[in-house]
């Protein structure tokens, strides 16, 4: 069987976990957590990164750091994971969904400004498949209207926009290190802070409302309850696993990119014949091969393609059902303007098997089977 996803392992995971055990403290913010945070800071250029228990938790922290009040509005795409939206609902905001662009499946920067009201406080962008949104335009809109920008860069670790790492362009960036992402710790994530002034508040929020982070650095001799917060930090065991992956990040990235380019090369003729559409990466984006998708003609053809592949032991997957059509999406938000692309394009998209060390012969079987489906 050709699996849709296989979590990466590069060799040192067990060794590092053993070291974490030998260090004698398994709770958060030990040496492995620090090394992972340092890696993120060095490789993205963010002044401050904090490891979290999930990408979802990073988003929740970002939403809380935005200081929203009841009725404040957050603009976001409807084509995203529930966690992007949940974070802002938990923080008391109303959701305003804006249409996506069909080429990248990212929020359409041209449709954002029209959705802004007196209540708008935040634009939350999602870099789908690790391909950047049009950040210069979005940051300019935010600046002119005095809005904060949160980047859901859950899929965008090691991706760049005009040379800047995703997650470092907006006020807050959120990474995921979930099992299904390019680099993993099973469940995990990170929040990136553009303004170091937010670091102290973020640390308190992450450490049950206490200043334990300062205490651990030896800056104070006891810690106490300072503000509201939760437990948003991962255990050292998870951080140890992640560090083994980050150590080999270039190797993982290059390997995934090679598979991605091979899909692109082999499927381009099928696109030229008008059978499917494949991704075209905007020139200003350097992506991380998080995903390779194809778009079938419509929902019916997509369903048939996924079944056809499954019957031949190949696992492919569709992606998000637009949030504005979900029960919670209707309750907590509204779609602004026309849904020109969100529903239509999301119902055509199929994600192909893609993971670190995917065997080239398996990739060719996937492609060959797609050609067979289209009788070519
Ligand atoms: C994976 C993902 C999340 C959630 O991250 P978890 O680590 O699974 O909590 C949020 N948003 C997007 C776009 C994602 O792909």
Q: Does position 168 have pLDDT exceeding 90, yes or no?
A: yes
Measured in angstroms, how far is the CA atom of residue 151 from the centroid of ligand 1? 12
Q: How do residues 301-315 score in pLDDT, each as one tens digit?
A: 999 999 999 999 999
Q: Does position 376 have pLDDT exceeding 90, yes or no?
A: no
Q: How do residues 246-275 score in pLDDT, each as one tens digit?
A: 999 999 999 999 999 999 999 999 999 999
Measured in angstroms, how far is the CA atom of residue 80 from the centroid of ligand 1? 9
Measured in angstroms, how far is the CA atom of residue 281 from the centroid of ligand 1? 21
Question: 């917060």: which residue's tokens?
Answer: 229
pLDDT given at position 286 = 98
pLDDT given at position 94 = 98
Measured in angstroms, how far is the CA atom of residue 81 from the centroid of ligand 1? 7
Q: How confident is the model at residue 326 (pLDDT cuts 50, 70, 90)?
A: very high
Q: How confident is the model at residue 133 (pLDDT cuts 50, 70, 90)?
A: very high
**CATH no. for 13-246:** 3.40.640.10
Is residue 115 lining ligand 1, measured as CB closer than 6 Å? no
Is residue 184 lining ligand 1, measured as CB closer than 6 Å? no
Is residue 85 lining ligand 1, measured as CB closer than 6 Å? no
Mean pLDDT for all residues in the chain: 97
Among protein residues, the one with the nearest Cα to ligand 1's atom 6 is: 55
Among protein residues, the one with the nearest Cα to ligand 1's atom 14 is: 154
Give me the percent of the chain exceeding a pLDDT of 70: 100
Q: How do residues 194-244 score in pLDDT, each as one tens digit?
A: 999 999 999 999 999 999 999 999 999 999 999 999 999 999 999 999 999
Is residue 154 lining ligand 1, measured as CB closer than 6 Å? yes
pLDDT given at position 355 = 98
Of 176, 183, 189, 190, best ligand 1 pocket probe by most atoms within 8 Å of the beta carbon:
176
Measured in angstroms, how far is the CA atom of residue 24 from the centroid of ligand 1? 31
Is residue 87 lining ligand 1, measured as CB closer than 6 Å? no
pLDDT given at position 328 = 98
Q: Where are the domains of the chain?
A: 13-246, 249-373
Among protein residues, the one with the nearest Cα to ligand 1's atom 7 is: 55
CATH fit for domain 249-373, picks 3.40.50.300, 3.90.1150.10, 1.10.3720.10, 3.10.50.40? 3.90.1150.10
């Amino acid at each position: 069987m050709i699996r849709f996803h296989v979590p990466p392992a590069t060799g040192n995971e067990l060794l590092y976990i053993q070291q974490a055990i030998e260090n004698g403290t398994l709770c958060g913010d030990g040496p492995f957590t620090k090394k992972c945070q340092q890696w993120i800071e060095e490789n993205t250029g963010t002044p401050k990164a904090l490891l979290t228990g999930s990408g979802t938790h990073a988003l929740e922290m970002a939403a809380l750091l935005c200081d929203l009040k009841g009725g404040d509005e957050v603009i976001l795409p409807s084509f995203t994971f529930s966690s992007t939206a949940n974070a802002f609902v938990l923080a008391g905001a109303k959701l305003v969904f804006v249409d996506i662009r069909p080429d990248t499946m990212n929020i359409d920067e041209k449709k954002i400004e029209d959705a802004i009201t007196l209540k708008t406080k935040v634009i939350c962008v999602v870099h789908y498949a690790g391909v950047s949104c049009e950040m210069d335009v979005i940051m300019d809109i935010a600046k002119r209207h005095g809005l904060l920008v949160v980047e859901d860069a859950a899929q965008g670790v090691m991706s760049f926009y005009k040379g800047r790492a995703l997650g470092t362009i907006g006020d807050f960036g959120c990474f995921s290190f979930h099992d299904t992402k390019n680099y993993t710790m099973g469940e995990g994530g990170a929040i990136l802070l553009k303004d170091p002034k937010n670091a102290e508040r973020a640390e308190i929020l992450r450490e049950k409302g206490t200043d334990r982070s300062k205490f651990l650095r030896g800056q104070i001799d006891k810690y106490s309850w300072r503000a509201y917060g939760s437990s948003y930090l991962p255990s050292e065991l998870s951080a140890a696993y992640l560090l083994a992956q980050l150590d080999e990040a270039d190797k993982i990235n290059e390997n995934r990119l090679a598979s991605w380019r091979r899909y692109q090369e082999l499927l381009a003729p099928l696109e030229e014949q008008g059978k499917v559409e494949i991704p075209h990466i905007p020139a200003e984006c350097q992506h991380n091969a998080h995903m390779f998708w194809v778009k079938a003609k419509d929902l019916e053809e997509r369903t048939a393609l996924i079944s056809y592949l499954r019957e031949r032991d190949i696992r492919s997957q569709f992606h998000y059902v637009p949030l504005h059509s979900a029960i919670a999406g209707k309750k907590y938000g509204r779609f602004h303007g026309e849904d020109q692309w969100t529903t239509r394009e999301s119902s055509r998209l199929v994600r192909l098997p893609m993971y670190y060390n995917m065997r080239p012969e398996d990739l060719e079987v996937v492609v060959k089977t797609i050609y067979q489906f289209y009788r070519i």
